[in-house]
Structure 1
């Protein structure tokens, strides 16, 4: 539920021909540009969203998540 043909194709293209490189959730998030990265400014340290990933893959992930949030009771809970 929530994964249409466009989102599925975008995900497959992003993974490419080496899906074994996505061994963890962190590597999957980094590839899509959805994972946090650490940064520091002066004496302050914080995290921000990584904007260096694949924008189309990130948009597909966004569509999947929000479709599931609207329609799937388990995801809503």
Structure 2
């Protein structure tokens, strides 16, 4: 289940109902959304998992083909 929310102090307020019993334990993966003021990156915020998958596939293919790879972002 992917939900979006707003941070308010130490609480994340989600926009949609969770449909989970009160007190349920959950795991949260925090990824800040791209700022809406940048129209180029803003169009990709719904495809973050796809872009991550593509990046991993490209890196895997580069490694298999023995291409020299210089990391372009920190992990």
Same fold (TM > 0.5): no
**Greater percentage in strand:** 1
Greater relative CO, 1 or 2 (CA 8 Å, sep 6+): 1
- Using the size of structure 2 for normalisation, the TM-score is 0.30
- Using the size of structure 1 for normalisation, the TM-score is 0.29
Rg (Cα) greater in structure: 2
